[in-house]
Amino acid sequence: MIAVFSILIALLLGFLSCLLFFKETKNINFRFLFNLAFPIGVGLSSATFIFLNLIGINSIVILLFETGLAIFLILKIKNSPKSVHQFELPKFNNLKGIRSLSDLLQSPLLLLAVVVYLYSWVLDVGVYYFDTIESPHGLWDAWSCWNLNAKFISSAPRYWPHLIHQMNSTDFAPDHPLLQKGFIAQCWVLLQNQSIWIPVLSSFIFTFCTIGLLSSAVGYFKNKTEGLIAGLIMLCTPFFMIMGDSQYADNTVGFFYLATIVILTFARSEGTLKPRLMVAAGITTGLAAWSKSEGLMFIACIFASQLVLVLFKNNRKQLLTELKYFLFGMIPILLLVVYFKVVIAPPNRILAPQGTATLVKLMDYSRYVIVFNWFWEQFRIFGKWVFNPWWLFLAGIVLKGISIKENKPSFISNFILVFLMLTGFFFIQIIAPLDLYYYLSTSVHRLLFQLFPSFIFLYFIALRKNKI
């Protein structure tokens, strides 16, 4: 029961935080807030648990602290000025009462797809070639890395940093940050047993909240029909759902990539400074780095992509102010990531010093050919669809056309962000110290799927609106 309470507190923390972030944004519905809030709450709860655990705080006291923080946020929202406080449950910012809760029920095609997938998730009907009942511990990386590290933390709450630091085997990837591991470990500590359903629940949250966030965000900026199509694309992409079943952290970090891009689009959608949303974008960027090591590259790429806004911003000071609020949200979590990387985690196996070998690899033309061909092959067979889905995206562009006038600055900067991430993934393959074919075969498809939800969001944002 106490573990369930902990999960509910995580949800509440995320939801209350999102109420504060979006309270000045018009027409935000419950479904959008819920799908954004739950993963953010899990991330904040994980970071809080690990930080307080490292300074010697008992797990029960940590839960009480999170409860107190939730109460503080409730009081802050309650005491917000009426002129800016636009969220009064169950009435969300001019929505007609509880109707926003029934959005999904008004979308029978998406609901049917969700029901079919839920059945295959648990009882396997051969749709996605993998199921939770037969493999409750997930695939290789789940039980050898994410869940194993969570077991170290929950089994030895005082000594786990030493245990992880001593793990030199690259097979167990102990250098990856602790968002997923920390949340699972916290639940296990409070539950007082290592239930296999906790990591299943964790992967479920991030997989389905990614679909829900994508669908509701596209619906907000375009229309409800396009939002449903965007959600169905993710739901019907077999490999994305396999990644959810397998309990890997790729869907986790992919969610925070998407959340950051969505929030930045909201923050710049009306041309006025929105400090709260920039803080929220900073938090989701920090949580991306807290999810997987690739999130640190995301931070570098996001700052590089913001430079292009200098070309669009009439007020350069506003851009600097936005980045100030962005850093304010990101820095606390980033400091925790840096501490873990520098003090606790063993060296990263991909970025391990190679001396002149790195330069030799960068000058080796044959490696570029191999990596490019592998990327191209992954695009060709993308997602384990029965046909190549890129033709559908191309057809959409041909039929509707492209128009980015409404969100031009944010779209271009976010598009550059995704492009820089792809470029970074490409060069990581070039310089990796591992066997090239082995590393390509085990990583490229997963790296691409981290960015896939963000790509779909940008794709629908770029499509021309119907003239109705």
Q: What DSSP line would sit under 4-27, residue for residue?
A: HHHHHHHHHHHHHHHHHHHTTSTT
Cα separations in angstroms, 244 against 10, 253, 290, 329, 455: 20, 12, 18, 28, 18
pLDDT of residue 352: 65
* 350 vs 102 pLDDT, higher one: 350
pLDDT beyond 80 at 448:
yes
pLDDT of residue 124: 46
Identify whether 433 is preceded by a cis peptide bond (ω within 30 of 0). no
DSSP-based three-state secondary structure for 218: helix
DSSP-based three-state secondary structure for 245: helix
**What is the spatial distance between Cα 146 and Cα 149, in angstroms, rounded to a whole number?**
5
Structure tokens that stand for 165 in this block: 């630091």
* 88 vs 15 pLDDT, higher one: 15
User: Mean pLDDT, to the nearest integer, of 232-259?
Assistant: 87
Angle (nearest 5°) at CA 464 between 462 and 467 = 160
Nearest Cα to 23, choosing from 274, 348, 258, 360?
274
Give phi and psi for 336, each to the nearest 5: -65, -40
Nearest Cα to 203, choosing from 243, 255, 244?
244
* 126 vs 55 pLDDT, higher one: 55
pLDDT of residue 311: 72
**What is the spatial distance between Cα 247 and Cα 149, in angstroms, rounded to a whole number?**
13
| Residue in the block written with tokens 């009942």 | 133
**What is the spatial distance between Cα 374 and Cα 437, in angstroms, rounded to a whole number?**
9
Cβ neighbours, 10 Å, residue 188: 22
Residue 88's beta-bridge partner residues?
Answer: 91
> pLDDT tens, 163-202?
888 876 556 678 889 999 999 999 999 988 888 888 988 8
What is the pLDDT confidence band of residue 338, given thresholds at 50, 70 and 90?
Answer: very high
What is the pLDDT confidence band of residue 153, given thresholds at 50, 70 and 90?
Answer: very high
| Residue in the block written with tokens 């920390």 | 182
Angle (nearest 5°) at CA 157 between 153 and 158 = 125
- Could you tell me how many residues make up the chain? 468
